[in-house]
Structure 1
Amino acid sequence: MKKFMSYLMYGSLLLVALNFTSCQEEFEELPGEDNQEAILASSSTGQLIQRTSSKDGSYDNIVDGASCFAINFPYVVNVHGLEVEIDAIEDLKLIKQLFDEVEIDDDIVDIVFPITITLSDYTEIKINNREELRERAKECLEGGDDDDIECIDFVYPIVVYSFDINLQQTGNVTVQNDMQLRRYFAERGDDDLLSFDFPITLELYDDTKISVSNNAELAHAIETAKNACDEDDDNDYHDNDFTQERLEEYLVACPWLVREVFRANLDNTDQYFDYVMNFTEDGKVVMKDRIGNSLTGTWITRIAEHRVLLKLEFEALADFSLEWFVYDLDNGKIKLYAGEGERIIMKKACDIVDNTPDTLREILKECSWVIKKVKLNNEEVDRLLGYEFNFHAEGVVTLSNESNISEGQWAITTNAQGRLVMAITMGDEPGVSFEWLLSDLRDKRLKFSIEDDNYELILERVCDNNANDGDVAEIRNILMGGQWMVAKYTEGEKDETQNYAAFTFAFQAELAVNVTTGETGPTYPGLWRIIRDSEGELKCYLNFGLATAMQVLMDDWKIVSVTSSRIELKNISGDNTTEILVFEKK
């Protein structure tokens, strides 16, 4: 992409200089006996120097999507509804962090205009809107094909000398950075002769420093290094310049959970979400679905165009069988892409182990498990919502809502097809007494089902009552800090707030909530619970048993917003109706 003309020594000029040695004493002697080689500002060496000192605009591609210019600090962007002020390069990491917090890569940065951009020659231009920015971006050459050279840099300060045609020094200037050097060369005439106070130092992309003693060595150093690294001149701002060796070590270190799959612009995430991939050093990769079925394929890496590629091959898994560019290797994730609409995101999961009866037994005993759903003969059993299982040694299991505890027996076996089965026997609670077939094993959630989900049990893992989750503790304390009323309850377009206007909620310790309806009205005791679920969402469980008047409010509500006097909850019902429940402190 970048052509280099051979270095010119300007022999004829040197011969002329020899004829003027008698006048040499009138001028300051040049430093060093070999440094009298001068170059034209417009020569191939001069062009290499200007390209090396050009402004690199690729560091903020996450914002502007263009490598030939950069946005001047400070400026403001909006990411996922949050306003972020960008005052320095380090602040760009905040945008990356916000992207990483969202599993689906639908990442958009909205720039607050107007802004000022700096071009590769350090010219500054005001941009008033996104359309003007896009027109400028169209002028950029991406993929490393632009003129700037980023794999080698000058170490400043540097002294630059100017000469007349007789190679007599006419001036000098000390430059402190790339901008000063680039502008100095750009301001010279095509026939101006220049050189440096050698030796000078340059730094390579791998932090290696080299010293050059004359212009020929300088040209050779830049020419040799200019294509030696990935300049990140693309919109692939996730690339962390990792090595092939680091990728291979990362892959085999732990299992990987599949979090997102797009092929041919089709979102296939639901089909593969939480599938587990295990890479082994002998080039095999085992893919396991959520119930433990496995398929073995192969993997291999290579380098192409200064990028690391990962090739996956499965006989019966076309969505994964492709050679992928690896464009992120950070924060416990690996992101792969193979062009527009082709990407996979995997999340590191060192705590995932093979699905065996012993494994499931240990998982169940590690923490408590809260009931998210129980369905019997296609009817949901709401009275068990938020109840807590504890699986103990010797086959003992307890089910409680803090005030009442039932005890029974549990066992993990396999059926004739080799599928894992959890058998529960609890005499005083027939709603859970079944041989539950494991149908979905995720990081923090278990799903058991029978007869095409007509019978279903979904459990959420809760360790130490979420004691280490500051958000959970804070919301609990807020709710227990006084009495609350229903300020709003809507079901779709229907506003039913008035139905609950007389209700007063008192959230108490030990998961107890008590609802009163005036001095003489009925009271409704119930269960409440705040947890962070397997999807990372904060949830508020409300359960009032068989109380008909409270059935509508019984659910695992998503917590939308919280203040010291107001809490907003949201739920999407089975028919996709949105319910909103707002509590305000009395």
Structure 2
Amino acid sequence: MKTLKLITAIAFTVLLGFTSCQSEESKEIGTNPNANSSTSPTASNYERAAQNDGSDDDFLDGNSCTELLFPLTATVNGQQITLISKLDFSAVLNIMGQFNNDTDNVSFNFPISVKTSKYTEVKVNNQAEFDALQQECENAEAQGKGAISCIDINFPVTMLTYDISLEQTGSVVVQSKKQLYTFMTDLQSDELFAVNYPINATLSNGTAVTIKSDAEFQNAISECVQFEDEKEDAATTAAEVEAILSGTKFKVETFITAGANTANDYANWSIEFTNDLKIVATNVVNAALGEVEGTYTVSSETEAFVNINFASNTALSALGNDWVISSFSNTLITLQSKTDASVTLAFKKI
């Protein structure tokens, strides 16, 4: 989501004065029985969709309700790094990705500054204040008040305003998330609004949608939240499987290809997944065959994957594939080819 500078209350008042109208050109002039109050579900949906999204830096601060502001200095796994912009995130991720069986540790050189979901800039002076912001975020999410970051509204959007008698009082052209958030949170108890549909939006799964009603906006949110939940579940699976694989030796329990189980071809091999994303296969019967090395990565989208790669013309090259994680336990991991569901592979811990 785009991050925009905080506008002042005076500037927003000017915007209201400039864009408010009650002309005959408005499509919704007059009464509107579908107008929403400030406490309606539609108001909540638009307010949450307009909140400042602080999830891009969650790998650093673990707080989706706050956006880290630059510059800042942090110590990541014992290495101090100064971040000037989001371009420096890659350096942090490289440090975190050196080993996959360690616990990443991030500590900030306080004070640091953050922007909250309400677009307020806050100076954080110490770890206690940092932890308090994290707790506040968790409370908001538990109460269903956290940001809905999976839908990106295409601006401008026109909001039609009404009094409690359902008579239109004007219209407001909203140009950004920040302005939309301000509009929604400034609504008074005697003020109503309606969205001048249709509007366009893009969901986090890449789908572009045209929304023609409050109900369709709710449906779009439900769709993208479900997609985000699937991504989160897949990421959890990937992390758990990576932890099981890392630093552990396995044997090929089954390898089904072309309808046949060829696991016996690998009965004499132990396969170790190292903590730096290498695979070392060792023939436990014939030492003269030495070791065969490969690489692996564990990733996720809406499913979790294990990519295995061995050089061609080696005893293990047939195991190389992009695999979908079908099931797993602490001792057995079952995989299915991403491109051919009939090809399956299972590793059993030795």
Mapped to 2, the partners of 1:159 and 1:293 lie a distance apart of: 66
Aligned to 2:148: 149
Task: Indicate how the Cα distance of structure 1 residues 243 and 176 shifts in structure 2: closer, same or farther if over 3 A, else same.
Answer: farther
1:197 is displaced (CA, Å) by 2.7
In the TM superposition, 1:537-576 aligns within 5 A as none
Matched, 1:170 2:169: yes
Mapped to 1, the partners of 2:35 and 2:136 lie a distance apart of: 34
Task: Say which SS state the counterpart of residue 179 (structure 1) adopts.
Answer: helix
Aligned to 2:68: 71
Q: TM-score, normalised by structure 2?
A: 0.60
Asked whether the 8 Å contact 2:151–2:224 carries over to 1, the reply is yes
Deviations 1:414-450 (A, max 9, x none): xxxxxxxxxxxxxxxxxxxxxxxxxxx6859xxxxxx
Structure (1/2) with the larger strand percentage: 1
Structure 1 letter corresponding to 2:62: G
Matched, 1:31 2:27: yes
Mapped to 2, the partners of 1:89 and 1:279 lie a distance apart of: 44
Asked whether the 8 Å contact 1:257–1:277 carries over to 2, the reply is no
Task: Indicate how the Cα distance of structure 1 residues 171 and 73 shifts in structure 2: closer, same or farther if over 3 A, else same.
Answer: farther
Structure 1 letter corresponding to 2:174: V
Task: Indicate how the Cα distance of structure 1 residues 231 and 67 shifts in structure 2: closer, same or farther if over 3 A, else same.
Answer: farther
Asked whether the 8 Å contact 2:251–2:269 carries over to 1, the reply is no
1:181 is displaced (CA, Å) by 1.1
Matched, 1:60 2:57: yes
User: Which sits farther off after the overlay, 111-120 or 33-42?
Assistant: 33-42
Structure (1/2) with the larger helix percentage: 2
1:186 is displaced (CA, Å) by 0.4
Aligned to 1:112: 109
Asked whether the 8 Å contact 1:158–1:176 carries over to 2, the reply is yes
Q: What root-mean-square deviation, in Å, do the aligned CA atoms of Structure 1 and Structure 2 show?
A: 4.4
Deviations 1:3-48 (A, max 9, x none): xxxxxxxxxxxxxxxxxxxxxxx74342379994321122111011
Mapped to 2, the partners of 1:197 and 1:279 lie a distance apart of: 60
Aligned to 1:213: 212
Task: Say which SS state the counterpart of residue 49 (structure 1) adopts.
Answer: helix
Asked whether the 8 Å contact 1:38–1:195 carries over to 2, the reply is yes
Mapped to 1, the partners of 2:253 and 2:73 lie a distance apart of: 42
Structure 2 letter corresponding to 1:113: F
Mapped to 2, the partners of 1:175 and 1:281 lie a distance apart of: 58
Mapped to 1, the partners of 2:140 and 2:99 lie a distance apart of: 27
Task: Say which SS state the counterpart of residue 59 (structure 1) adopts.
Answer: coil
Aligned to 2:187: 188
The count of residues paired between Structure 1 and Structure 2 equals 263
Matched, 1:50 2:47: yes
Task: Say which SS state the counterpart of residue 58 (structure 1) adopts.
Answer: coil
Task: Indicate how the Cα distance of structure 1 residues 293 and 198 shifts in structure 2: closer, same or farther if over 3 A, else same.
Answer: closer
Aligned to 1:84: 81
1:66 is displaced (CA, Å) by 2.1
Aligned to 1:515: none
1:207 is displaced (CA, Å) by 0.8
Aligned to 1:202: 201
Mapped to 2, the partners of 1:29 and 1:227 lie a distance apart of: 39
Structure 2 letter corresponding to 1:215: D
Structure 2 letter corresponding to 1:193: L
Aligned to 1:18: none
Asked whether the 8 Å contact 2:31–2:166 carries over to 1, the reply is no
- Return the index of the structure with the highest Cα Rg: 1
Matched, 1:347 2:277: yes
Task: Say which SS state the counterpart of residue 230 (structure 1) adopts.
Answer: helix
Task: Say which SS state the counterpart of residue 141 (structure 1) adopts.
Answer: helix
Percentage identity across paired residues of the two chains = 26
Q: TM-score, normalised by structure 1?
A: 0.38
Structure 1 letter corresponding to 2:169: T
Which ranges of structure 1 fall in alignment gaps of 5 or more residues?
Answer: 1-25, 233-238, 261-271, 296-332, 334-343, 364-440, 445-586
Mapped to 1, the partners of 2:184 and 2:63 lie a distance apart of: 25
Asked whether the 8 Å contact 1:163–1:169 carries over to 2, the reply is yes
Mapped to 2, the partners of 1:240 and 1:345 lie a distance apart of: 23
1:346 is displaced (CA, Å) by 7.7
Asked whether the 8 Å contact 1:277–1:285 carries over to 2, the reply is no
Task: Say which SS state the counterpart of residue 228 (structure 2) adopts.
Answer: coil
In the TM superposition, 1:388-407 aligns within 5 A as none
Structure 2 letter corresponding to 1:211: T
Mapped to 1, the partners of 2:156 and 2:140 lie a distance apart of: 31
1:279 is displaced (CA, Å) by 7.2
Mapped to 2, the partners of 1:41 and 1:59 lie a distance apart of: 29
Task: Indicate how the Cα distance of structure 1 residues 76 and 45 shifts in structure 2: closer, same or farther if over 3 A, else same.
Answer: same
